[in-house]
Amino acid sequence: MAATQEDVTLLGVVGSPFVCRVQIALKLKGIECKFLEENLANKSDLLLKSNPVYKKVPVFIHNEKPIAESLVIVEYIDETWKNNPILPSDPYQRSFARFWSKFIDDKIVGASWKSVFTVDEKEREKNVEESLEALQFLENELQDKRFFGGDEFGFVDIAGVFIAFSIPIFQEVAGLQLFTSEKFPKLFKWSQELINHPVVKDVLPPREPLFAFFKSLYESLSASK
């Protein structure tokens, strides 16, 4: 299958770790893709039509067929282009990958966001606790592996870009110690391996504009307390 002959479009915004997941998967497969930058304050008709349920990015459109939800998209890409597999072939290892990537979305994404961007102090503290507890589960699970699947990065690592790239920005914005090398030495080492991997490094957006954006969001929330 010649990737360049395919009609492959990604609706996204620069800086979203969920969009990055799809971009990493595409890069890994060597798929050229048209990137359509969305303005989330004024979403395109294409986005609203392609993801009527959530109206969110990323949306991946392959030969006019839209797919939403970043992990669903990554599995689709892995099943459509077979080179450089993202999920392992063994069913038990696949279930491991699905379990932990779902865990990141269910237990870490929301809680770590709310650890920083929640006005209510009690609610914020509850989310810090939940984030730390969830990160500890990942720390224990990682053990001394380089990546979650072993020597090469895969599905859980791609899901984990949120932890390796976004949480450090969030916590610096708020002066919070959530994900540090002292608290989670193995997970921190993994995060450095991940963001310095050539495929990931190539896809991650510049840190500074994102930091400035979230700093400004944090300050406006703090001012409204």
Q: Provide the binding-site residues for a copy of itself, judged by CB under 8 A.
A: 52-53, 62, 65, 67-69, 72-73, 75-76, 79-80, 91-92, 94-95, 98-99, 102-103, 137
CB of 105 to a copy of itself, least distance (A): 9
Q: Which is nearer to a copy of itself, 72 or 119 (CB)?
A: 72
Q: Which is nearer to a copy of itself, 80 or 196 (CB)?
A: 80
Q: Which is nearer to a copy of itself, 128 or 138 (CB)?
A: 138
Q: Which is nearer to a copy of itself, 71 or 174 (CB)?
A: 71
The answer to whether residues 86 and 77 touch, using CB atoms and an 8 Å cutoff, is yes
CB of 120 to a copy of itself, least distance (A): 16
CB of 222 to a copy of itself, least distance (A): 27
